[in-house]
A and B are shown apart, each in its own frame.
Chain A
């Protein structure tokens, strides 16, 4: 094989969203030569789509807030399946991570006394989300992007080279993680522009590739969300956990068809918007589950009083965690009370003045006006559930973000555990920052420890990986060729129809069969036209391999978990079972197939358990698990 472009780094970060950039900033700030590899242009990562805000218990708007309250909300939102140590680190460190953004130049909306303003959101007891109107993700990505540039400027001043310490490889796809024995030795990838392969050597790799939503037909996710990091980790021998938990955001656009799935921010409800059925009735009062009855209002009158007097009234049920609201909307539509286009109404027009709407929700106003001809200051929006986020991901050590593969780290959506069975809105951006930083630090420590043993890989391994990526060009017999665009559409249909928001054993068995059939046909995926020069058909053929293996994980894990919890709802197993709370489902790749294994959840530390009332814990935990807190400390 001809010589291929090669580079040496200390740390490689795959993905340039919030987690990836924060990890890269950390690694570079600790003196490590760092490369960031991303599929899109720099600054276009999916993080820009986040709208509502960053959850952090700064207590700027309600001083009652602190990390314990945030921790409790996060655990409740995830139905106590969360990795409690991650939830603890997240709640304690999020404020520092937000404040740090201001030192990079971020400009959040302000309170009257000049501090960072915070807004209400589903499942959060107090106003907690730092925000910039409804474009917080853009602010986050731009701030981190500009901090990367700032570090590059320092390197330029010192070494005369902007890229001496931190280089971004944009429009670059990683096809394989390279291993030396069982340790990370680098990555193989290619420039999307010309299809030329590049080998990067490094003893540490941070996965920050985001999610898997593009495997579903109706999704708020962009083309990049093909589960690349999940699949790379599996192929390198790491374990994924919680893959059965997929979040369907309650409010995606439903009309016109071409925008179906595009996100409508939860801030609409956080700022006062309500959900109504076709007849105009506020239906969420019918859907307050037993475990949340104490904290949610049971009448519109009380719910409306809460906005001005949150201390003496309970919260509106529109602000229940996302899984609850999505199921409620699904049920309203199923029972025939939906809108003409199969959604429900989200009404902010009758709740806020035109000026307030324009100030708080400018990007939603713009989006509906431009894409649906709907003026949200005077008309209701039509909304319905859309695949938004995967709670499952690479199993990591909470403190260092290290996976079980030496040298492999994961942060952000591609990591699993933090959000349990359901993520609260606003907890994603804070997750990216808290664990992005920790992954950068974890990688730096790993590199320091491995300083004298730089792993390497043989030429044969590289050649094999290159050949595998070029395989779609070799399928030339027109009769057996599979078209990547058609196969992707089939996969999306299967996942949407059979492994969607409401699941059932028989349907998931059917899904697994159909996935197996698609997988077989995927071996004949061909590049229908063109060469390696910026060829989206080829790019998709490679992405599809990842989408398929990750979809298999979701379906297989969902079939195994015979209960309903958070982002996993079984029609045939409707209840929540405390025994399942203590069990995590792992996915591993064995001889090309996914194997599901059961693992015990580490027991929660006693002082954290004591942050909850026994009565509340009793709804989620088994008696044996609670024995430790039954006796007064």
Chain B
């Protein structure tokens, strides 16, 4: 059932670029990344594309397919009509390096700003005990493959790079939530306060829970409901607790 697929791909670099039209052979069961690879092998040997596992596990091949943030390795051609033009563009929230490859260093900068897991005092390796139900919440967030599609789609930064300074994006707010819910994290005992850090250092307040991040997550992680909202609630409980408010007022 092979056919000629119509592909429109953004070609260019940081300075300039354009959408170019291609026709490329397509076979049954293929995904958009297969077409990009065939394009490389037969027509555009210098087409820049990131990919690794081709099985939805590494989160390298993120791009926008017909405007929607997706992993190209998990986007099957059967989603489209055979005569439909499939448009592939780089993630819009990040600066382009070349073709479909973006500069995603913003994410690595933000990752460094989240204080790491703080191991509990007095427990040696091998002595950690946790119940399955207690680790499941953080485990859900650790399914994240760091494809950065949630970052790409988040309207706080998608067309507002000026917000990047103050806002770490859903991926790293979720990382804060993951550590906050880790049964043995001792950050708080050592004077840290993860919900407060999410607010002050990572811009949690800028998120107005439109759930776009959750919608594009290829791992179907409940980013908004399970990570961001509980983080906001923990903060609200604390900030608007009458006793704490009194305490804060006395201190200031």
- The residue that B29 contacts in the complex, of A153, A257, A484, A533, with Cβ under 8 A, is A257
> Taking the complex as formed, is A537 at the interface, i.e. its CB lies under 8 A from any CB of chain B?
yes
Give B28's nearest chain A residue, CB to CB: A256
Contact between chains at A95 and B126 (CB < 8 Å)? yes
- The residue that A132 contacts in the complex, of B29, B45, B76, B142, with Cβ under 8 A, is B142
Contact with B along A531-547 (1 / 0, CB 8 A): 00111111000000000
- The residue that A534 contacts in the complex, of B101, B115, B179, with Cβ under 8 A, is B101
Contact with A along B8-20 (1 / 0, CB 8 A): 0000010000000
Give complex CA distance A438, B115 in Å.
Answer: 28
Residues of chain B contacted by A32 (CB below 8 angstroms): none
Contact between chains at A150 and B116 (CB < 8 Å)? yes
- The residue that B48 contacts in the complex, of A96, A152, A366, A534, with Cβ under 8 A, is A534
> Taking the complex as formed, is B251 at the interface, i.e. its CB lies under 8 A from any CB of chain A?
no
Known: A103-B125, A132-B139, A149-B112. A528 touches B45 (CB 8 A): yes
Give complex CA distance A58, B125 in Å.
Answer: 12
Q: State the Cβ distance, B40 to closest chain A Cβ, in Å.
A: 6
Contact with B along A387-424 (1 / 0, CB 8 A): 00000000000000000000000000000000000000
Give A114's nearest chain B residue, CB to CB: B129
> Taking the complex as formed, is B72 at the interface, i.e. its CB lies under 8 A from any CB of chain A?
no
Scan residues 214-232 of chain B and give those whose CB is less than 8 A from a CB of chain A.
none
Of B49-57, B153-161, B197-205, B242-250, the segment with at least 4 beta carbons within 8 Å of chain A is B49-57
Contact between chains at A259 and B29 (CB < 8 Å)? yes
Scan residues 25-76 of chain B and give those whose CB is less than 8 A from a CB of chain A.
27-31, 34, 40-42, 44-60, 74, 76
> Taking the complex as formed, is A89 at the interface, i.e. its CB lies under 8 A from any CB of chain B?
no
Contact between chains at A42 and B45 (CB < 8 Å)? no
Give B71's nearest chain A residue, CB to CB: A370
Contact between chains at B31 and A48 (CB < 8 Å)? no
Residues of chain A contacted by B212 (CB below 8 angstroms): none
Contact with A along B131-156 (1 / 0, CB 8 A): 11001001100111110000000000
Q: State the Cβ distance, A38 to closest chain B Cβ, in Å.
A: 11
Contact between chains at B57 and A363 (CB < 8 Å)? yes
Contact between chains at A484 and B50 (CB < 8 Å)? no
Say which size band chain A's interface belongs to. 35 or more
Contact between chains at B115 and A153 (CB < 8 Å)? yes
> Taking the complex as formed, is A40 at the interface, i.e. its CB lies under 8 A from any CB of chain B?
yes
Contact with B along A18-61 (1 / 0, CB 8 A): 00000000000000000000001111101011000000001000
> Taking the complex as formed, is A485 at the interface, i.e. its CB lies under 8 A from any CB of chain B?
yes
Residues of chain A contacted by B58 (CB below 8 angstroms): 44, 48-49, 222
Known: A49-B55, A99-B126, A370-B74. A153 touches B112 (CB 8 A): yes
Contact between chains at A223 and B46 (CB < 8 Å)? no
Q: State the Cβ distance, B187 to closest chain A Cβ, in Å.
A: 11
> Taking the complex as formed, is A565 at the interface, i.e. its CB lies under 8 A from any CB of chain B?
no
- The residue that B45 contacts in the complex, of A113, A255, A485, with Cβ under 8 A, is A485
Residues of chain A contacted by B49 (CB below 8 angstroms): 536
Known: A99-B126, A142-B142, A222-B54. A529 touches B76 (CB 8 A): no
> Taking the complex as formed, is B207 at the interface, i.e. its CB lies under 8 A from any CB of chain A?
no
- The residue that A105 contacts in the complex, of B30, B46, B131, B182, with Cβ under 8 A, is B182
Say which size band chain B's interface belongs to. 35 or more
Give B100's nearest chain A residue, CB to CB: A534
Scan residues 478-528 of chain A and give those whose CB is less than 8 A from a CB of chain B.
483-486, 489, 527-528
> Taking the complex as formed, is A263 at the interface, i.e. its CB lies under 8 A from any CB of chain B?
yes
- The residue that B108 contacts in the complex, of A42, A46, A58, with Cβ under 8 A, is A42
Known: A262-B54, A367-B55. A536 touches B128 (CB 8 A): no
Give B115's nearest chain A residue, CB to CB: A153
> Taking the complex as formed, is B24 at the interface, i.e. its CB lies under 8 A from any CB of chain A?
no
Contact between chains at A370 and B76 (CB < 8 Å)? yes
Give B119's nearest chain A residue, CB to CB: A103
Residues of chain B contacted by A109 (CB below 8 angstroms): 132, 135, 139
Residues of chain B contacted by A46 (CB below 8 angstroms): 52-53
> Taking the complex as formed, is B194 at the interface, i.e. its CB lies under 8 A from any CB of chain A?
no
Give complex CA distance A224, B50 in Å.
Answer: 11
Give complex CA distance A42, B53 in Å.
Answer: 14
Give B128's nearest chain A residue, CB to CB: A102
Give complex CA distance A360, B29 in Å.
Answer: 26
Give complex CA distance A121, B155 in Å.
Answer: 45
> Taking the complex as formed, is A287 at the interface, i.e. its CB lies under 8 A from any CB of chain B?
no
Contact with B along A94-111 (1 / 0, CB 8 A): 011001101111011110
Give complex CA distance A528, B47 in Å.
Answer: 11
Contact between chains at A149 and B40 (CB < 8 Å)? no
Residues of chain B contacted by A527 (CB below 8 angstroms): 45-46
> Taking the complex as formed, is A139 at the interface, i.e. its CB lies under 8 A from any CB of chain B?
yes
> Taking the complex as formed, is A371 at the interface, i.e. its CB lies under 8 A from any CB of chain B?
yes
Residues of chain B contacted by A230 (CB below 8 angstroms): none
> Taking the complex as formed, is B209 at the interface, i.e. its CB lies under 8 A from any CB of chain A?
no
Give complex CA distance A170, B97 in Å.
Answer: 14
Q: State the Cβ distance, B29 to closest chain A Cβ, in Å.
A: 2
Contact between chains at A49 and B53 (CB < 8 Å)? yes
Give complex CA distance A538, B46 in Å.
Answer: 8
Residues of chain B contacted by A538 (CB below 8 angstroms): 46
> Taking the complex as formed, is A115 at the interface, i.e. its CB lies under 8 A from any CB of chain B?
yes
> Taking the complex as formed, is A530 at the interface, i.e. its CB lies under 8 A from any CB of chain B?
yes
Give complex CA distance A109, B46 in Å.
Answer: 43
Known: A132-B139, A150-B116. A115 touches B125 (CB 8 A): no
Known: A107-B135, A537-B45. A135 touches B128 (CB 8 A): no
Give complex CA distance A46, B27 in Å.
Answer: 27
Q: State the Cβ distance, A95 to closest chain B Cβ, in Å.
A: 7
Residues of chain B contacted by A40 (CB below 8 angstroms): 50, 52, 60
- The residue that A535 contacts in the complex, of B48, B52, B104, B112, with Cβ under 8 A, is B48
Give complex CA distance A138, B53 in Å.
Answer: 12
Give B148's nearest chain A residue, CB to CB: A41
Residues of chain A contacted by B28 (CB below 8 angstroms): 256-257
Contact between chains at B53 and A533 (CB < 8 Å)? no
Most chain B Cβ neighbours within 10 Å, of A114, A138, A223, A258: A258
Known: A42-B108, A534-B97. A371 touches B142 (CB 8 A): no
Known: A107-B142, A371-B31. A530 touches B182 (CB 8 A): no
Contact between chains at B56 and A529 (CB < 8 Å)? no
Most chain B Cβ neighbours within 10 Å, of A40, A262, A534: A534
> Taking the complex as formed, is A372 at the interface, i.e. its CB lies under 8 A from any CB of chain B?
yes
Q: State the Cβ distance, A416 to closest chain B Cβ, in Å.
A: 24
> Taking the complex as formed, is B111 at the interface, i.e. its CB lies under 8 A from any CB of chain A?
yes
Give A225's nearest chain B residue, CB to CB: B52
Contact between chains at B129 and A113 (CB < 8 Å)? yes
16 further A-B pairs in the complex, CB-CB below 8 A; given A105-B117, A538-B46: A41-B60, A41-B104, A96-B126, A103-B128, A105-B182, A107-B182, A108-B135, A114-B129, A138-B142, A156-B112, A222-B51, A370-B56, A371-B56, A486-B41, A536-B46, A537-B45
Which of B's residues lie within 8 Å of A, judged by CB?
13, 27-31, 34, 40-42, 44-60, 74, 76, 97-99, 101, 104, 108, 111-112, 115-117, 119, 125-126, 128-132, 135, 138-139, 142-146, 179, 182, 185
A-B pairs with lowest CB-CB distance, top 4: A256-B29, A530-B46, A105-B117, A150-B116
What are 19 of the A-B contact pairs (CB < 8 Å)?
A43-B146, A48-B53, A49-B55, A96-B125, A103-B119, A103-B125, A104-B119, A105-B119, A107-B135, A108-B135, A110-B135, A114-B131, A147-B116, A257-B28, A258-B34, A527-B45, A528-B45, A528-B46, A536-B47
